[in-house]
Amino acid sequence: MELLFLVLFALHILKREALAVSHWCYESQKYEDPLCQGPREWYQIYATCKGEKQSPINIVTKNVVLDKSLNSLNFEGYDVKESSAWDIENNGHTVKVTLDTSAKIGGGGLGRKYKAAEFHFHWGVQVGQQYLPGSEHSIDGEKQAMELHIVHIREDASDIEAAKKYANGVAVLAFFIKIEEENRNYTSLISELENIKYKGQTAQMEPLPLSSLIPPEEDLGRYYRYEGSLTTPDCYEGVIWTIFEKPIALSLSQITQFSTVYFDGKNSTPMAENFRPVQFLNGREVYRSSASILLPTAKLLLLLLMLTYILSSLCQ
Ligand SMILES: *[C@@H]1O[C@H](CO)[C@@H](O)[C@H](O)[C@H]1NC(C)=O
Ligand SMILES: [Zn+2]
């Protein structure tokens, strides 16, 4: 009897230990914390993570369906600077800015207006002179260096938890970030990273107009659209994804700054490769908007035609 009691007690302790360490993490954290639950195990704690409409996905362009009703989105308040300071946070998974803004999106086949709630990033890792890309979505198998997610919730929802009660509660705008020239509009945000090195740290920063962090509106007519999920637990399904074709440009040194923050406290792993692997499409369609960017050759042809026309009218 006493032995049984002891065994039960030991089991109880073990179970408690197991629960205490079973927090979700990215694959890149398993080296430091082998017991944490990586993307393939998330469903053990959060059943939705093995649902049929998960994100991110690889977009295969030859299978994408043109949807003529997908016109340009309306960006409301995107060029306004918020009056209150931005809270930038290292939450142990990403760098996140919580928004308290009137910025909204509508149109573009969304069906209703959604208000901006927060934005955060996913990134890769530097290996020698190379950068292993860390975007979540990919196009024809190709990933980009980073991905920015601006998370919007239904206008009538008070916060993200309330929005998740609906079937279409969340709309995320996704932007790829490519290694190019330096983007000064990101200077202040990146310089805050040294103040949020460790998990749980927050800092306040001067707000920026959201439009200054993304490509100009005239470049946002081309995008992909599909129904998916949040890419972190609880993997809530009910997210309308908009993935813009035009990437944001940052320099390599700006991109590598993101890995100066850590997944946890001092001596923990630098935050890198904080992306979820691509998920099955499971019969979902991916649509593309109708706006078309003229191909460089088409532009050249048009220019030649115009020149010919002008010259011929001059020579008459
Ligand atoms: C920076 O922001 C300004 C103002 O919003 C904008 O006009 C400019 O195009 C942005 N620069 C880049 C590189 O995105
Ligand atoms: Zn994200």
Q: Is the minimum distance from the CB of 185 to ligand 1 under 6 angstroms?
A: yes
Helix (H, G, I), strand (E, B) or coil at 80: coil
- Residue 62 sits in the same domain as residue 145: yes
**Residue owning the nearest CA to atom 1 of ligand 1:** 212
- Residue 60 sits in the same domain as residue 160: yes
Dmax (CA) for the chain in angstroms is 112
> Using one digit for the tens of pLDDT, what is the confidence trace for 105-156?
999 999 999 999 999 999 999 999 899 999 999 999 999 999 999 999 999 9
Number of domains observed in the structure of the chain: 2
Residue 315 lies in a domain: no
- Residue 125 sits in the same domain as residue 77: yes
Has 23 been annotated as catalytic? Answer: no
d(CA 312, CA 35) in angstroms, rounded, equals: 75
* Confidence check: pLDDT of 169 > 50: yes
Ligand nearest 96 Cα, by number?
Answer: 2
Residue 314 lies in a domain: no
Beta strands in the chain (DSSP E): 58-59, 65-66, 73-76, 86-90, 95-98, 104-107, 114-123, 125-127, 130-132, 138-139, 146-154, 170-179, 202-205, 223-229, 237-250, 287-288
* Confidence check: pLDDT of 97 > 60: yes
Q: Is the minimum distance from the CB of 183 to ligand 1 under 6 angstroms?
A: yes
pLDDT the model gives residue 308: 77
Q: Which two tokens stand for residue 271?
A: 């935050």
> Using one digit for the tens of pLDDT, what is the confidence trace for 256-308?
999 999 999 998 999 999 999 999 999 999 999 987 555 556 666 777 788 77
Residue 133 lies in a domain: yes
pLDDT the model gives residue 305: 80
Q: Tell me how long the chain is.
A: 316
- Residue 136 sits in the same domain as residue 258: yes
Per the structure, the complete domain to which residue 13 belongs is given by 1-45
pLDDT band, residue 6 (cuts 50/70/90)? low
Residue 142 lies in a domain: yes
- Give residue 183 CA to ligand 1 midpoint distance, Å: 8
- Give residue 298 CA to ligand 1 midpoint distance, Å: 27
Residue 20 lies in a domain: yes
CATH number of the CATH domain containing 206? 3.10.200.10
- Give residue 313 CA to ligand 2 midpoint distance, Å: 55
Q: List the catalytic residue out of 12, 93, 149, 152.
A: 93
- Residue 136 sits in the same domain as residue 3: no
- Cα–Cα distances in angstroms (integers) from residue 212 to residues 93, 173, 185, 246, in the given order: 24, 15, 6, 14
Element (H, E) at 116: strand 114-123
Q: Is the minimum distance from the CB of 180 to ligand 1 under 6 angstroms?
A: no
d(CA 102, CA 174) in angstroms, rounded, equals: 19
- Residue 133 sits in the same domain as residue 269: yes
Residue 73 lies in a domain: yes
- Cα–Cα distances in angstroms (integers) from residue 246 to residues 36, 219, 238, 249, 293, in the given order: 36, 6, 25, 9, 10
DSSP 7: H
- Residue 34 sits in the same domain as residue 69: no
Ligand nearest 186 Cα, by number?
Answer: 1
Token match 């919580």: residue? 98
- Residue 51 sits in the same domain as residue 40: no
Torsions phi, psi of 55, nearest 5? Answer: -125, 160
Ligand 1 atom with the shortest distance to the CA of 185 = 1
Q: Is the minimum distance from the CB of 212 to ligand 1 under 6 angstroms?
A: yes
- Residue 65 sits in the same domain as residue 29: no
pLDDT the model gives residue 13: 44
Ligand 1 binding pocket mutation candidate from 185, 210, 214, 244 (most atoms within 8 A of CB): 185
Residue 207 lies in a domain: yes
- Cα–Cα distances in angstroms (integers) from residue 208 to residues 118, 153, 195, 231, in the given order: 13, 20, 18, 25
* Confidence check: pLDDT of 3 > 60: no
Ligand 1 binding pocket mutation candidate from 78, 186, 212, 246 (most atoms within 8 A of CB): 212
Residue 172 lies in a domain: yes
Near ion ligand 2, which residues have CB within 5 Å?
A: 149
Q: Which residues, listed in sequence order, are joined to residue 270 by a DSSP beta bridge?
A: 262
- Residue 151 sits in the same domain as residue 80: yes
Taking the whole predicted model, whether its pTM rises above 0.85 is answered as yes
